[in-house]
Amino acid sequence: VAFFEQNSSGALVSRLTNDSDQMQNVLNRAPETLVTNLLRCVIYLVMMAQAHPQLTFVSVLPLPFAFWLARKTGKVVGRFGVMQNDALARVNAVASEALANAKAVQLAGAEATEVKEYSTAIGRYLDVIKQTLFKETSLRFVSSLVNDACTDVPLMLLACWLIARGELSVGQFYTYRTLLLTYRRGFRELAELFTGVSRAKAVSQRYFELTDREPLVRSQSNAKHLEASSVRVEVELRGVSFRYPGQDVWALKDVSIRARPGEVVALVGSSGAGKSTVLRLLARLADPDEGTVLLSGVDLREIDLGDLRRCLAVVDQDPALFDRTVRENIAYGLPETSEGEVGSDERIRRAAKASRAADFVEALPAGYEERLGERGSRLSGGQRQRLAIARAMARDAPLVLMDEPTSALDGESEEAVAESISALAAQGRTVVVAAHRLGTVARADRLLVLEGGMIVEEGTRKELLARPESRYRAVVEPSLSSD
């Protein structure tokens, strides 16, 4: 996850598409060009040698230098090809970001800013293209000039000397010259192919760096397997410290937490206190720098990652929806049924009803078959939140992680979802919630108050309110929304 947070999606897509297109273009024409022109060079070289060995020797004498120039050209073009693709990736990243945030751009009246940003990226891209063309053209011109000077001048002098001595006729020379020109055409095409392959090689290194990249979080070869349907889980952070890549400040410092089956544990505290980071580690989107995260006493790093994720149901504070139907969004990640469908209709409708999403879904023109647009753009913030909750409820997972699950809901919907969360716990599920809403906090079995990446208090809401020096009563409770 950290990799995708540090790299623009537009740039990554550009690298996957443009880099692969360039490699494909070279590979499509390389076999035919290589075989055709290699045969042409060999056949015509033999014919030239048979026509006149001395002239042939002079003609092929500059070949080592010509190969060196072709290699030099290939390296330069390869380096500039990478720069060109990077510049194009930036263009795509700017365009992708502007389109994804079109509403924010319009509301801020920042169209001119985005046009300027895009124009700057395009300008940089065109500058790199100009540099590439200039370098490539210059090297090819020098290559042709030097090749002609090293070959044609000695060849003409030798031919004139041989003609003067009567050892070569003008007709024989023109016949040889015709063979030489055909030979050179094959050699030039091979040199151009070599340049293209050099560029594709430079690009392919970046492409395979991306596709062959090993994620920091992955399953071990001897990982343990779990069955979500038969697991009641207890999760624990034991002496965990964590900081984000490139950051000096600890996001969590020596944190120990335990959540048991049938329990709703609420993480409360100000923004940046570490609530979302705890959920991040519980979902194993990252591994702690110090300490251990345990699932029923087993280190998460020892559990198969796919099995772990199937044991999870997650509601993020920024709901991730796709440009697919309501049904497909709720059923996302569920195993296929015997009929080949992902999730049964009954299961999907039950989850939608529990999350208070059923009413607005059934009011849509196509109901559960209505497409939602990119990132669920056709829905309101609250509707997107309810569908995300419905997706989590449809999974029937033993461990439920929720990050501000009711932040975009009205009071009535919040109360209904809070009841559903309590019902999940009553079924034996372990529920950990990062909460900013009083309704969610009030129903929790236990509150953990985080401050500066550390747990400063723990207890039920009633216990924390009763403590004279309670940080929760003095700071956190007044900041909770009760709407």
Question: 129-179, pLDDT tens digit by residue?
Answer: 888 888 878 877 777 777 667 777 888 888 888 888 888 888 888 888 888
Looking at mean pLDDT, say which of 79-88, 157-166, 314-323, 329-338 comes out highest: 157-166
Q: What is the pTM of this model?
A: 0.68
pLDDT for residue 278: 92
Read off the pLDDT band of 356 (50, 70, 90).
confident
In percent, how much of the chain has pLDDT > 70?
Answer: 88
Mean pLDDT of 267-277: 87
Please check the confidence at residue 360 and state whether its pLDDT lies above 70: yes
Pick the range with the lowest mean pLDDT from 83-97, 163-177, 197-211, 267-281. 197-211
| 209-239 pLDDT, tens digit each | 666 667 677 777 777 887 655 557 889 999 9
Mean pLDDT of 172-197: 82
Chosen CATH of 2-211 out of 1.20.1560.10, 3.40.50.800, 2.40.10.10, 3.30.70.340:
1.20.1560.10
Mean pLDDT, rounded, of the chain: 81
Please check the confidence at residue 266 and state whether its pLDDT lies above 80: yes
pLDDT for residue 255: 92
Read off the pLDDT band of 481 (50, 70, 90).
low
Read off the pLDDT band of 292 (50, 70, 90).
very high
Please check the confidence at residue 202 and state whether its pLDDT lies above 80: no
Please check the confidence at residue 42 and state whether its pLDDT lies above 60: yes
Q: Which residue has the higher pLDDT, 56 or 340?
A: 56
Read off the pLDDT band of 413 (50, 70, 90).
low
pLDDT for residue 338: 46
Mean pLDDT of 242-270: 89
Pick the range with the lowest mean pLDDT from 228-237, 391-400, 448-457. 228-237
Superfamily of domain 228-479: P-loop containing nucleotide triphosphate hydrolases (3.40.50.300)
Distance CA 56, CA 18 (A): 43
Read off the pLDDT band of 3 (50, 70, 90).
low
Q: Which residue has the higher pLDDT, 449 or 146?
A: 449
pLDDT for residue 1: 53
Distance CA 235, CA 240 (A): 13
Q: Where in the chain is the domain with CATH 3.40.50.300?
A: 228-479
